[in-house]
Amino acid sequence: MRGIFTVVTIGVLALQGDVREHISALEHSGAAAMPVRRPGELDAVDGLVIPGGESTTIDKLTRIFELADPLKKRIEAGMPVYGSCAGMIMLAQEIADPATDLKGEPQQTLGGLDITVRRNAFGRQRESFETDLDFRGLEFSAPSPDQDPAPVHAVFIRAPWVERVGDGVEVLATVEPASHGTLHGTARIVAVRSRHLLATSFHPEVTGERRIHELFIRIVRGEA
């Protein structure tokens, strides 16, 4: 177990997406951060963030840059990974509506999380929205032991949701029907954790919400 004052190095998969924002959030939360573009750079990090962007593009680029297999091996070996939006899709074991390439082959994921996700589930870009979420696991940020932590202000941009969770997957947050008109009375799962893997449908790096990154750093350190 890592000591509380240990500075961990966390990589951000830097093939596509909001890389700089995640690096800034990690550094402001007390970690050293670096972009990861090559297999050898994985050896230098204690954990990894897969940012938002286009999951189909990230999938193709991980294979082009020969990162897919090394990433899968590190995930299987227990490397902590946080996936945001497209990163959640990349960590999912199954995609309910995978895109297909020109040959008709479905997009691939890195896997690790026993979940099924649906891409662009809340709608397209014009249907992006913001809402406040009750988020489990942030007790460290509460003002005092007898108070609950403040809600997480979440931004959803062409976001996925989780349609199935397997054994061992903890649901950390849901979007309630009153928050978005497409839900038709059904709450949707938007944040999950399974041991060393964390994923959210939303983008905490764009709102200045640092607690998700702080939680991930605690996971990397073995403190959460």
Q: Which residues are catalytic?
A: 85, 203, 205
Closest CA to 201 of 99, 112, 90: 90
Contact call for residues 133 and 151 (beta carbons, < 8 A): yes
CB 170 within 8 A of CB 155: no
Distance CA 179, CA 29 (A): 29
The number of angstroms, rounded, from the C-alpha of 196 to the middle of its chain's C-alpha atoms is 12
For β-strands 32-36 and 81-84, DSSP reports them as unpaired
d(CA 188, CA 185): 10
Residue 172: strand, helix, or coil = strand
Asked if 119 and 160 touch (Cβ cutoff 8 Å), the reply is yes
